[in-house]
A and B are shown apart, each in its own frame.
Chain A
Amino acid sequence: MKKKYGVYGGQYAPEILMPALKQLEADYSRLCGDEGFRDKLNSMLTDYAGRPTPLYFAENLSPSLGFDLFLKREDLLHSGAHKINNTLGQVLVAKQTGRKRVIAETGAGQHGVATAIAAAKLGLECEVYMGAKDVKRQSLNVFRMELMGAHVKSVESGSKTLKDAINEALRHWLSNAKDTFYCMGSVVGPHPYPAIVRDFQSVIGFEIKKQVKEKKGRLPDAIVACVGGGSNALGAFNEFLGEDVRLVGVEAAGEGVDTGKHCATLCTGSDGVLHGMYTKLLQDSFGQINPSHSISAGLDYPGVGPQLSHLSSINRIEAVSAGDSECMDAVKMLAESEGILPALESAHALAYVIKNKNEFKDKLVVVNLSGRGDKDVQTIADYFGVDL
């Protein structure tokens, strides 16, 4: 397997974890070629998770935008987001390699929920690390995980968000690498995680390609997806890397990329090492990691997947951003025009095409609607000053 993407990626992990990472690479490579594994995963994706997801033509919104907008409805998946594509795959690897227990980190809680679901379905113990700040703003998801038998560990260190949840999950894995499987939630971390998560999420782009050809007889002009760590984006882009298709990754500009309160890592970050990978980071002049901000917990991360850093550095993908308020406007617009409530994360992708509709004029555009907004209702109400 490829360990680096240009200069990015690699395996900057403590020695204690190196054997576990090598083992994971070997196990994963073997299972990828195993028909039984692939059949089992495909049947779970179809009958359990609800794949393929529809590619929906936003017929009410499209005329006002001046281009054909298609939404890849990952929000309709079981669990409410694309994360389950990856967790079913990884937890199945865990199961088939004899592990009894999986751990995961989570930001918005979507990966935690998806891991809890996969673990419940496959009969494994599950422990989820979540920043204390996120536990508070995503309490609904915490309870969902607990309902499915997972233990949620509130992480009090550092900035108490996703970055610290990953730190704590890695620390826990250091003590338990022998019997515990770390189910990574995005295309981040030391090799082979970025590759594994990308592979499991590539089903999104694979389906987009097939569906858009069926509907329009051609490839789309652009695919637009939000980027936190980048798993839904890379999952949507991967099938199109060799095609003449614009690929746009929308990061969270939070309160503005010049305010310091954002997480636009590809747009404004610099190279460094965090969480086992060499990638773009938000950091100060000495290399200390800066706190990030976004109204959407799932994008609130000061790093990004190494392959996306590479693709951005060679200009194969465009890195852009949308802020908190633009995101909220997009939520309202989609809800009112199409009756779809997007996750705040996914709404960033939508916000970008709405704001820049002229650059997409008359084009065929696919936005990856990576998750649904049910989990965000409280945040949305707070933002608009509504008392529930």
Chain B
Amino acid sequence: MRLSEKFSQLGSEGAFIAYLCAGDPTYEKSLEAVESVIQAGADVIELGLPFSDPIADGPTIQKASQRALSSGMNTRRYFEFAAQVHGLADIPLVCMTYYNLLLRWGLRRFVESCVESGITALIIPDLPYEEACELEALCRKNQVDLIYIVAETTDEERLDEILSRAGGFLYVVSVLGTTGARKNISPTLKKLLEKLKAETQIPLAVGFGVSTPQHVSDILCLGADAVIVGSGLIDQYQKKRGGLFEYAKSLKQATYKP
């Protein structure tokens, strides 16, 4: 499913985007985790393809990536995994990974493999728009959304350029830094969301540091259309396998606007 379809289905309800790293800690257990998050009500699955050197990720996703790679996850198995997830439910599937893995697989082949396995969007955190032309053209041709990231450091000139290219949703980084659960929502997020809402119709998804139902409802109240939770889910799964479903459910419940 394309992201646009999901967002129009949801209407005023916020979208819960759940990130999990494929193959963490093993192929089978990871598939169970994804299934349980979908059952708990995740609207979109962001599926990480682990990379050995994830510079945009904090300790939780770094460790998850290491576990997944140690258990044999690679690009080939990733697409098999994604296809299986696709078979579980008809919801948008987003691939998040680093550019080197696309280059190595072949850009065209990578986008085609996404289409074949049911992935409809891509997030590549180390690919700014300056370097993205070739991938962007391939994505457009294959109807895959290339998702761009914005932060409070993104100036007007860059923002205009990003808004003219962005597909799917805009990934709004709530705090400057890497992925990972944090205690509080950044006080500057409100201003950033207001600015973005005034300039674009594209859905705004807030990620980095989101980990509690309170965060979720606060962020949606500030005007976001979606929240992305990754490290929080992985931390929970590490702590108590069985707790994942309840935790994910509590996050989804917080997306129902009062």
Contacts and interface: CB of A to CB of B under 8 A. Distances in A.
A is bound by B = yes
Interface of A: 10-16, 18-20, 157-158, 163-164, 167, 170-171, 174-178, 271-276, 281, 283, 285-289
B53 A12 contact: no
B52 A11 contact: no
Given A12-B126, A16-B153, A171-B58, A285 B53 contact: no
Interface residues of B, number: 42
A244 B103 CA distance: 36
Contacts of A171: 55-58, 177-178
A52 B4 CA distance: 63
Given A174-B176, A175-B177, A283-B100, A274 B128 contact: no
B189 interface: no
Contact of A283 (B54, B104, B149, B158): B104
B126 A273 contact: yes
A274 B53 contact: yes
A163 B55 CA distance: 11
Contact of B104 (A163, A176, A272): A272
B41 to A, nearest CB: 29
Contacts of B192: none
B62 A18 contact: no
B75 interface: yes
B131 A15 contact: no
Contacts of A167: 53-55
Nearest to A272: B100
Contacts of B57: 171
Contact of A158 (B53, B101, B126, B130): B53
A12 B98 CA distance: 10
B149 A178 contact: no
B163 interface: no
Contacts of B69: 288
A14 B155 contact: no
25 contacts: A12-B126, A12-B127, A13-B128, A14-B126, A15-B128, A15-B149, A15-B151, A15-B162, A19-B158, A157-B59, A158-B52, A164-B53, A167-B53, A170-B55, A171-B55, A177-B153, A271-B103, A274-B53, A283-B104, A285-B104, A287-B75, A287-B100, A287-B101, A289-B53, A289-B100
Contacts of B75: 286-287
A20 B153 contact: yes
Nearest to B173: A16
A21 to B, nearest CB: 9
A273 B99 contact: yes
Contacts of B162: 15
A167 B175 CA distance: 19
B51 A288 contact: yes
Interface in B161-188: 162, 173, 175-178
A288 to B, nearest CB: 4
Nearest 6 A/B pairs, CB to CB? A287-B104, A175-B177, A15-B149, A288-B52, A287-B101, A287-B100
Given A158-B52, A171-B55, A286-B101, A12 B178 contact: no
A287 B99 CA distance: 9
A132 B138 CA distance: 41
Interface of B: 51-59, 62, 66, 69, 74-76, 98-101, 103-105, 125-128, 130-131, 148-151, 153-155, 158, 162, 173, 175-178
Given A271-B103, A273-B103, A288-B69, A14 B176 contact: no
Given A158-B53, A288-B51, A289-B52, A16 B103 contact: no
B45 to A, nearest CB: 22
A18 B176 contact: no
A10 B153 CA distance: 20
A272 B103 CA distance: 7
Contacts of B128: 11-15, 18
B32 to A, nearest CB: 24
Given A283-B100, A286-B75, A177 B53 contact: no
A41 to B, nearest CB: 29
Contacts of A273: 98-100, 103, 126
A362 B211 CA distance: 69
Given A19-B154, A174-B55, 17 more contacts: A11-B130, A12-B126, A16-B149, A157-B62, A158-B66, A167-B53, A170-B55, A171-B55, A171-B56, A174-B178, A177-B153, A272-B103, A274-B53, A276-B126, A286-B74, A286-B105, A289-B53
Nearest to A175: B177
A16 B151 contact: yes
A16 B59 CA distance: 18
Given A16-B151, A16-B173, A286 B55 contact: no
B100 A19 contact: no
Given A12-B99, A171-B177, A286 B104 contact: yes
Contacts of B55: 14, 167, 170-171, 174, 275
B28 to A, nearest CB: 20
A252 B19 CA distance: 40
Contacts of B62: 157-158
Contacts of B52: 158, 288-289
A281 B51 CA distance: 14
Given A163-B53, A286-B76, A289-B52, A274 B173 contact: no
B103 to A, nearest CB: 6
A10 B76 contact: no
B61 to A, nearest CB: 11
A177 B53 CA distance: 20
B136 to A, nearest CB: 15
